[in-house]
A and B are shown apart, each in its own frame.
Chain A
């Protein structure tokens, strides 16, 4: 009897519970304990960091200001055919009047005007002007009275814009961020000379690529030297790499400003040696050269450190074997050493590239107008033009771009191999 029970439930532990059950219980308890330890930080990061990012994603498509401020107009506009070349009828003007009276009372009509102004310039002043006079309108004949305030109210384009952006969500910000616009004929790119964002994205990528390339060119010899010197010497020299790495970003940027400006150290030196004429001082700053020099310096340690850690593991006997088989110095390096160091170049290059795409401070301070990145435009839209939706859309595109590169980094290097020097 008892034998049959034991074989049914498997092995039984000392307290009479089947071993399988008590093992599962112990495992569950371990998992819960681990999660309890992680939970406080997880909740903290979700609230203080993940929620903001999610909010940004939401803001890049959110458009509730139009349907919230102009609810009656939005409903009434459903009847109107935007393809017709006629301004809407009296009913819609009456709805607009009713909405604007309420909005003007709460002083929010300027906000919706500003929102629509991003899509059709001129709407902001139209709304502001109308909002001042809307409560003095006589009942009836609204269309005439609106047209009396501004004949733009008869403009079909204005009504098309309101109609197009009357939903709770919009792709308008993303389209603007990609220099496109929604026309009655579908999505079209704006004229070539107005494509600021595409130009900026391309410039960000090209400059980041240039910076990555210069970092690789300058970082490779240093990493090679460090990994081939005796430990004691290389540790001493490593300090020369780590000290700039640890120095505040703003300190390094201000130092580059001091070095590069027209009355700066480098120009002064060149003039006093006699290489340069005092009149023809070099313009090393407030352009792309300034951004490239300063950012190469700032990101160079991120290239050297992963390269160094890979090169340290390349056994010197490989090169020696190649030489003993008759290879000369160059062949031994190019055919044997260099292929072995490629993982380090890959790791460093992707790291530098990712960091560089998102840079803000250094381009802002030394880049002038031609050396700024897409991040600077995002900051401009948040703090100066106050077009938060567009800033959010640009941010989402940049984030997506970076996540693609991180995914590549994870595939090639593995995210766990991030080392802090």
Chain B
């Protein structure tokens, strides 16, 4: 796909540009939702399309009123608060337990490794609607349905596979002789872990944690069933908003969420580069 050679035939030239046009259109398809929703969230009207003033780039066509609504409306603020109460707790649980398990799994001799791995990864494989149905049935039996901890447990379970996958991937490049060196110099296992192993695998742990956070922060199916009105999260509020009466405030919320995902994506990319540097690989 390098530049066209000087001897290219006219058919080759046509294909070269034709192919790039097709690709550009597909990229447009990929980015279209984001490109449309961000400017529309600044609409001064309660419409879901571009008004004449917006197209003319008239400042009167734009306003922050939907953002204002998002930050003052008690429904939206309550939902945001719930999301911020549930996601960090779920992340903490899944990252803590997941990191320990990943370290255990990357030991040389692990009995029943395949079966254990299958169980730990299963929350990622099973479709959300089935997890949600099962959790709804089981959590109502044990009295967790409709409680804060019920939602946190459910989200933590959904987030663990991501932590396991990212941390195990980081541990593949981990040099075991470092642990042995620390031990031979008299460090006990806890000191070795905190001072030697943890700093090296930290990028993997943080990206696993970010994955777990975004899983919980974006999740709507399970919380719809396991939660009750008291645990209404931001995605849930968006879901009801979209199903019942779509209000333009959703566009503002969507833009805020897009900003958050850009932030997360860049953090992950930085962490990936750092981790590769630490492992002596050149950044890709």
A 48-85 to B, binary, CB cutoff 8 A, 1 in contact else 0: 11111111100100000000000000000000000000
Instruction: Report if A246-B214 is in contact (Cβ < 8 Å); known contacts: A36-B104, A48-B154.
Output: yes
Instruction: Report if A31-B242 is in contact (Cβ < 8 Å); known contacts: A358-B127, A402-B127.
Output: no
Set A34, A49, A51: member contacting B123, Cβ < 8 A: A49
B206 at the interface (CB under 8 A from A): no
User: What chain A residues lie within 8 Å of B135 (beta carbons)?
Assistant: 48-49, 52
A363 to chain B, nearest CB (A): 10
Considering only CB atoms, which chain A residue lies closest to B235 in the complex?
A250
A406 at the interface (CB under 8 A from B): yes
User: What chain A residues lie within 8 Å of B218 (beta carbons)?
Assistant: 248-250
A257 to B239, CA, bound (A): 12
B69 to chain A, nearest CB (A): 15
Instruction: Report if A53-B101 is in contact (Cβ < 8 Å); known contacts: A46-B119, A378-B129.
Output: no
Contact A365 B239 (CB under 8 A): yes
A 295-322 to B, binary, CB cutoff 8 A, 1 in contact else 0: 0010011000000000000000000000
Contact B30 A241 (CB under 8 A): yes
Considering only CB atoms, which chain B residue lies closest to A26 in the complex?
B109
From 162 to 211 in chain B, residues with beta carbon under 8 angstroms from any chain A beta carbon are: 162, 164-166, 211
Contact B239 A38 (CB under 8 A): no
B46 at the interface (CB under 8 A from A): no
B 130-145 to A, binary, CB cutoff 8 A, 1 in contact else 0: 1111111111010000
From 10 to 57 in chain B, residues with beta carbon under 8 angstroms from any chain A beta carbon are: 12, 15, 19-20, 22-23, 26-27, 29-34, 36-37, 40, 48-50
User: What chain B residues lie within 8 Å of A252 (beta carbons)?
Assistant: 33
Set B1, B15, B32, B162: member contacting A228, Cβ < 8 A: B1
B70 to chain A, nearest CB (A): 13
B59 at the interface (CB under 8 A from A): no
A307 to chain B, nearest CB (A): 13
A264 at the interface (CB under 8 A from B): yes
A51 to B140, CA, bound (A): 12
Considering only CB atoms, which chain A residue lies closest to B47 in the complex?
A263
Contact A222 B137 (CB under 8 A): no
Considering only CB atoms, which chain B residue lies closest to A359 in the complex?
B127
A64 to B111, CA, bound (A): 39
A318 to chain B, nearest CB (A): 15
Contact A378 B157 (CB under 8 A): no
B120 to chain A, nearest CB (A): 6
Contact A254 B250 (CB under 8 A): yes
Contact A388 B137 (CB under 8 A): yes
A30 to B179, CA, bound (A): 14
A192 to B81, CA, bound (A): 50
Q: Which of A8-16, A88-96, A119-127, A390-398 contacts B (4 or more CB under 8 A)?
A: A390-398
A179 at the interface (CB under 8 A from B): no
Contact A41 B98 (CB under 8 A): yes
User: What chain A residues lie within 8 Å of B118 (beta carbons)?
Assistant: 415
B255 to chain A, nearest CB (A): 8
User: What chain A residues lie within 8 Å of B37 (beta carbons)?
Assistant: 251, 254-255, 258
Contact A35 B104 (CB under 8 A): yes
A 212-234 to B, binary, CB cutoff 8 A, 1 in contact else 0: 00000010011001001101000
User: What chain B residues lie within 8 Å of A41 (beta carbons)?
Assistant: 97-98, 100-101, 120, 160, 164
B89 at the interface (CB under 8 A from A): no
Contact A248 B257 (CB under 8 A): yes
User: What chain A residues lie within 8 Å of B32 (beta carbons)?
Assistant: 255, 259
User: What chain A residues lie within 8 Å of B100 (beta carbons)?
Assistant: 37-38, 40-41
A211 to B131, CA, bound (A): 23
Considering only CB atoms, which chain A residue lies closest to B98 in the complex?
A41
A396 to chain B, nearest CB (A): 8
Contact B220 A42 (CB under 8 A): no
Contact A258 B251 (CB under 8 A): yes
Chain B interface residues toward A at CB < 8 A: 1, 12, 15, 19-20, 22-23, 26-27, 29-34, 36-37, 40, 48-50, 93, 97-98, 100-101, 103-105, 107-111, 116, 118-139, 141, 153-154, 156-157, 160, 162, 164-166, 211, 214, 217-218, 220-221, 225, 235, 238-239, 242-243, 246, 250-251, 254, 257-258, 261-262, 264-265, 284
Q: Top 5 A-B pairs ranked by shortest CB distance?
A: A358-B127, A37-B104, A255-B33, A228-B1, A52-B134
Can you name 24 A-B residue pairings with CB atoms under 8 Å? A30-B107, A34-B111, A44-B157, A45-B123, A48-B135, A222-B27, A225-B20, A228-B1, A239-B265, A241-B30, A242-B265, A247-B34, A248-B217, A249-B220, A250-B235, A251-B257, A253-B242, A265-B49, A375-B129, A378-B129, A395-B133, A398-B127, A399-B126, A399-B127
